Structure 1
Amino acid sequence: MSSDEIIQEIYQILEDRRDNPIDSYTSKLMQNDKKSAEDKILEKIGEESAEVIIASKNNDNLVYESADLIFHTLLLLVYKGVELDELLDEFKRRRK
């Protein structure tokens, strides 16, 4: 499985957890009331951002912490209804 396929699969799973909630961490985060859900997701992004910074400074667990940050950023995008193609199109636009 290629890198872009993995991201697409994660995105689709997150969309499914949003649209068809199950007993999971991500479903629970997205099923809170609107303000609370967004606040909790943003709080996780802030926490994961800080952990990436610390991991980088300590030369320890940078890949692991970066994966957490990217995951929670994808979760936010799914929660807000942003399509993955919008994100990929923005990366393509910036490449030019």
Structure 2
Amino acid sequence: MKDTIIREVYSVLEDRRDNPIDSYTSKLMSNDKKRAEDKILEKIGEEAAEVIIASKNDENLVEESADLIFHTLLLLVYKNINIEDLFSEFEKRRK
């Protein structure tokens, strides 16, 4: 189901963190602690800028937004944040 895709992506990212393989995400997270976080934050900054440009140009907004969300999830996984904490925060804000 489509509503489970965020959980699936999160689970894959956790697995790549815990069982590194030759992949983009494993490589980002396997750098030394300071460098890994810096690289992930750099990607989030790049992707945020690309979302802004895509919106202003009325093109590729969905794709660029997916990249930004992906890298934000990657940061949360890297920082050992439980996905349920994210969903709980959304629920709190909905009330």
Give the TM-score band, short-chain normalised.
over 0.9
Report the equivalent of 1:50.
49
Trace 1:20-59 onto structure 2 (pairs within 5 A): 20-59=19-58
CA shift for structure 1 position 13: 0.1
TM-score normalised to structure 2 length: 0.99
CA shift for structure 1 position 39: 0.1
1:91 counterpart = 2:90: yes
Counterpart amino acid of 2:20? P
CA shift for structure 1 position 74: 0.1
Trace 1:1-80 onto structure 2 (pairs within 5 A): 1-3=1-3, 5-80=4-79
- Unmatched runs of 5 consecutive residues or more in structure 1: none
**Deviation per residue, 1:28-80 (Å, 9 max, x gap):** 00000000000000000000000000000000000000000000000000000
Distance 1:2 1:52 in 2: 22
CA shift for structure 1 position 2: 2.5
Distance 2:20 2:44 in 1: 21
Counterpart amino acid of 1:60? E
Distance 1:31 1:91 in 2: 29
- Unmatched runs of 5 consecutive residues or more in structure 2: none
Alignment size in residue pairs = 95
Distance 2:51 2:2 in 1: 24
SS class of match (2:59)? coil
Distance 1:72 1:62 in 2: 15
RMSD of aligned residue pairs (Cα, Å): 0.4
Counterpart amino acid of 1:58? N
CA shift for structure 1 position 82: 0.3
